[in-house]
Chain A
Amino acid sequence: MEYVISVLLSGISVGGQYALIAIGYTLVYGILRLINFAHGDVFMVAGLMGIYLTSALPITVSLPLVILLTVLLGFTIERAAYKPLRNAPRMSVMISAIGVSYLLQNTATYVTGGQPMTYPTIPFLSDTVNVAGTQTKWVVIITPFLVLALVLGLTQLIHHTKVGMAMRAVSKDFETSRLMGIQVNSVISVTFIIGSALAAVGSILFFTNYPAITPMAGAMPGLKAFVAAVFGGIGSIPGAVLGAFIIGICETIIKGLPSAWDVSVFSDAFTFALLIIILVFKPQGLFGEAATDKV
């Protein structure tokens, strides 16, 4: 029983962290129709910045600074690598995203010397707590609540503010929105800013629970978060969050299965199997809308 609770708890927590990354994917895809392959690496860089800044500054300064710098990074990537390709074929933008991902990973390898870096202990988040007889960290308990609060805030933003309305308009029809006088470029920037900020928060939560960060640490959570976004129906925030929780829980369950079966190698593969199944049977995801091409 305790075992089940601990698996569920950490599953929900991992799911929540994926959710924060997945929102970044789903927002960007909704607007630019781009799989932002670099998003997972932005998440990794946020983690590294957490390490370096916390070692130099008090935690109350460093953590907000991490979020700020990550936002700046996301904004810069969009302006430098995606904006110039606005009218290029979709494949070019995706290749540019892969290039940015490659650049971020290699830079991280250079800066860290390729060594795994230990994430700092963050007061309170890293403290242990006893839930129903299971020892766990506070971060595990807090994550789902924090995620729900952020998602609620975000949906309020999207449905009840002017910029939110602009975002919805651009995701429906890029060209028409431009013609209607919406500043498409600012809307895209806002999207990247929101996505990066959430990824930064996600990185603080995620890496507090993990022993170390390597330059490749962002790639896998990034891909999984993307799968979560597809699973929930790309463009849909509640869908992405639900998908992330499902993937997080399933993954923890697989990792927790008896070691004699040796199925833990499949914890990553499972996500992709799920992706292929979803794409084949319900390509628009759980909450997505089907689109038709005009001939």
Chain B
Amino acid sequence: MKKNKNILPALFGVAALLIFIILLENISAIIPGLPQVFQPTSPLFTVLKKAAVYSLVAVSMNLLNGFTGLFSLGQAGFMLLGAYTYAILTVPASQKDQVYYLFGGCAFKFSIVDLFQSFLGSSGAGGAAAMVLGCLLSIILAGCMAGFFAYLIGFPVLRLKSDYLAIATLGFAEILRAIFQWQKLGPITNGANMIKGFPTFSSFNITDANGNVLVRLSTFVPFFITSLCIVLIVLLIRSSYGRAFQSIRDDEVASEAMGIGLFKHKMLSFVISSFFAGVGGALFAMYVANAQAKAFTSTMTYEILLIVVIGGIGSVSGSVLATFLYVACSEWWLRFLDSEMFIGSFKVPLLRNGFRMVVFSIVIMVIVLFFSRGIMGNREIDFGRLLGKKRNVETGKKKVG
């Protein structure tokens, strides 16, 4: 009962965060002369965008691996489906011939954004609304596509035991990657080439008629979508279904004996997790401004898995926290390890291209081996306490040893 009461402060926390992001993004325009970090070109915003995207994928993976106990390694495959679905649906019809020039144009002649523009107008507020609605619808469809494929693949693979499930889902992701690179599907997927020209995060910036940015929203957009999705996932985890998922993780045999259908609930968790991975894939495509199958390798899945482990398997807030730390370290704070450095005439040894990732993987191994519960274990950040609200009198849930 204690749990439900935590949701409201958490929602306030999320709303405050979103407002903060908008301010942060536009602060350099409001107050001139701020340090480089606050300029729109700062790595800060790259990190924030990428981490927002990755944290959704990490949480979706945690729903499956951490809360349902299904060790699946197919996340990159479902992201790929989401990315391609979004890209194919939103490239404006006028640009399709150019993007698909190797294949003489695209098999899909329409674009969802164009479709909305046809009755909302293509410029001014109508055009903006058309783009927002079109993109949102495409993102949802991207998730649905990933969820649908999860449903299909779920029939054979969800009956498998833990590590066989892992290798089968990994294999499935590899198969998808091959299919999307197949030249015969070129008119749809653009073969092994990237699909470009669709709306990205910066398309959401509010500009004047000359294209000057008035209000930046390019960091806010991924934060908004990710927050929305994570709130939904948390609501799911804290519902009766979430408890059923966790019971399956704890003891399948007992769950089945208590009337919780294993296959049905595993499938549910798998499809929902894949839906959000698909949404994450669409966001990823927006972040990198292209969709290309060769980006979605098993290394990407491993990376996300390691994030989940660092954050704590079974903790949503841990996954989010870990994603931001991970992305900030790999994209920003540890960058210096990759370039040669001189202190006076002394050349610091070892520092050159690639060293960052070595240090990084050693840190990860240390966490895996010695801090296997990760940052948060299976606890959550208590937003109520963060906001200084009075703690509930009921005793909190004890830690699992």
Contacts and interface: CB of A to CB of B under 8 A. Distances in A.
Interface residues of B, number: 48
Interface in A245-295: 261-263, 265-266, 268-269, 271-273, 275-276, 279-280, 283, 293, 295
B358 A107 contact: yes
Nearest to A220: B174
Q: Which applies to chain B's interface (DSSP): helix, strand, loop or mixed?
A: helix
A87 to B, nearest CB: 11
Interface stretch (B7-15, B181-189, B282-290): B181-189
B108 interface: no
A33 B163 CA distance: 9
A275 B182 CA distance: 21
Contacts of B156: 276, 279-280
A67 to B, nearest CB: 25
B355 interface: yes
A90 interface: yes
A232 to B, nearest CB: 14
A275 B168 contact: yes
A279 B166 CA distance: 12
Given A81-B365, A114-B353, A269-B174, A90 B162 contact: yes
Interface stretch (B53-61, B120-128, B301-309): B301-309
Contacts of B192: 265
Nearest to B359: A106
Interface string B158-180: 01101110111011101101110
Contacts of A227: 167, 171
Interface string B340-381: 000000000000111101101110110011001000000000
Contacts, number: 135
B71 interface: yes
A119 interface: no
B365 A113 contact: no
A110 interface: yes
B354 A113 contact: yes
Interface string B269-312: 00000000000000000000000000000110011011001000
B368 A92 contact: yes
A272 B298 contact: no
Interface stretch (A97-105, A131-139, A158-166, A184-192): A97-105
A230 interface: yes
B37 interface: no
B357 A109 contact: yes
B253 interface: yes
B309 A95 contact: yes
B157 interface: yes
A103 B358 contact: yes
A147 B31 CA distance: 71
A117 to B, nearest CB: 14
A219 B157 CA distance: 22
Interface string A190-223: 0000000000000000000000000010010001
Nearest to B174: A272
Chain A contact-residue range equals 35 or more
Contact of B167 (A35, A90, A114): A35
Contacts of A33: 163
Contacts of A85: 369, 372
Given A230-B164, A276-B168, A276-B172, A103 B178 contact: no
A69 interface: no
A142 to B, nearest CB: 31
Contacts of B368: 81, 92, 95-96, 99
Contacts of B303: 102
A262 B185 CA distance: 10
Nearest to B361: A103
A74 to B, nearest CB: 16
Contacts of B299: 102, 105, 216, 219
Given A103-B358, A276-B156, A269 B164 contact: no
Contact of A110 (B163, B358, B369): B358
B338 to A, nearest CB: 10
B179 A269 contact: yes
B364 A99 contact: yes
Contacts of A106: 354, 357-358, 360-361
A149 interface: no
Given A262-B184, A276-B156, A283 B360 contact: no
A91 B162 contact: yes
A84 B365 CA distance: 12
A98 B306 contact: yes
Interface centre among B355, B361, B372 (most CB of A within 10 A): B361
Interface in B311-355: 313, 352-355
Contacts of A43: none
Given A85-B369, A91-B71, A269-B175, 7 more contacts: A35-B166, A35-B167, A92-B372, A106-B360, A113-B353, A223-B170, A272-B175
23 contacts: A33-B163, A35-B166, A81-B365, A85-B369, A85-B372, A91-B65, A94-B166, A99-B306, A99-B365, A99-B368, A100-B365, A106-B357, A109-B357, A111-B354, A223-B174, A223-B298, A263-B182, A266-B179, A266-B182, A269-B174, A269-B175, A271-B171, A279-B164
Shortest Cβ-Cβ A-B pairs, 4 listed: A272-B171, A110-B354, A269-B178, A106-B357
